[in-house]
Amino acid sequence: MSIWVLRGLRDGVVTTRWPERPDEYAGSWRGPAAVRPDSAGGAGAEVERLCPTGAIEAFDRLRVDQGRCILCGRCVAARPDLFTWSAGATGPAAAAVARQALVVPQEPETDEAVAAARAALAGRTAALRRSVHVRHVDAGSDGSEEWEIQALLGPVYDIGRLGVFFTASPRHADVLLVTGAGTAGMAGPLRTTYEGMPDPRVVIAVGTDAASGGLLGDRLTGVAGAVPVDVWVPGSPPTPFGILNALLIATGILGYGGKGER
């Protein structure tokens, strides 16, 4: 016990002050691949084949679906003239309230869809402010997202300071945090968990697997087929800051600051 007391006195407070104060560490991670704003063109079918999950589209214009990106870096390494990494896009600006908002560059009509989704979510979760309980369900995860979720309970992120707590019972849960590619065996239990939650209930798809199936995208398409998703968090895996940001957005504790915001 004395060792931990001495360590605490030596290190001081390690808990992040975000979102009350900016945190440089939050934006220091490499985000999903994105199209370079100064790309000179030259995209074709061979560029699409660079991505193992089919996240690149070069039909009429070059786009990257960050909801499919697993951060492998093949596109950035092969065509640095076309692709780059999103700076800090797995941190506080990662979450999206509309699936299409994860496709970059965004189409003009995406703004209207994001605004509508944001308004609908805010109306449903107006009562969720002071104390929020979260139920996590693994729907076929590789385990990487679980490590990041576990970090939220540690002293650095300490989500309890924001009034967010995990619960074992869906009857007590306000938010359903789902990881994994949405396997057939978990579709029923996932739906049962969702139906057991009281209204207003919010669903967050955490990670590329939950958003699109990831590397299994040819057979699995994520969790949206089993439960209605309100907030999408890209990344393989997303960072604790990205997950925390999604939780705060989903419950109205934090104003929306994710993808699609202008």
Domain range summary for the chain, segments of one domain joined by +: 24-87, 99-250
SS3 content of the chain, % helix, strand, coil (to 5): 35, 15, 50
More confident residue, 255 or 173: 173
- The CB density around residue 22, as the number of other CB atoms within 10 Å, is 12
Asked if domains 24-87 and 99-250 share a fold, the reply is no
Of all residues in the chain, the percent with pLDDT exceeding 90 is: 58
Which is more confidently placed, 146 or 250?
Answer: 146
Task: From 49, 33, 44, 154, select the one nearest 102 (Cα to Cα).
Answer: 33
CA distance 194 to 3: 44
pLDDT, tens digit, 9 for 90 and up, residues 105-156: 877 666 676 777 777 777 777 767 668 999 999 999 999 999 999 999 999 9
Would you say domain 99-250 falls under CATH 3.40.50.12280?
A: yes
Burial of 257 (0-12, 13-18, 19+ CB in 10 A): middle
- Is residue 175 within 8 Å of 125, Cβ to Cβ? no
Whether the pLDDT of residue 45 is over 50: the answer is: yes
Residue 24 pLDDT grade (very low, low, confident, very high; cuts 50, 70, 90): confident
For 145, phi and psi rounded to 5 degrees?
Answer: -65, -35
Q: Residue 49 pLDDT > 60, yes or no? A: yes
**Domain 24-87, CATH number (from 3.30.499, 3.30.1490, 3.30.70, 3.30.750):** 3.30.70
Q: 152 is written with which tokens?
A: 């939220």
6 Cβ contact list (under 8 Å, min separation 6): none
Residue 34 dihedral angles phi and psi, to the nearest 5°: -145, 165
57-66, 126-135, 179-188, 191-200: which has the minimum mean pLDDT? 126-135
Mean pLDDT value of segment 220-247: 93
Q: Counting beta carbons within 10 angstroms of the beta carbon of residue 20, is it exposed (0 to 12), middle (13 to 18) or buried (19 or more)?
A: exposed
Q: Provide the mean pLDDT of the chain.
A: 86
Q: What is the pTM of this model?
A: 0.88
* Residue 96, phi then psi, degrees to nearest 5: -135, 140
The whole-number average pLDDT for the span 1-23 is: 77
Half-sphere exposure of 192 (CA within 13 A, CB side): 7
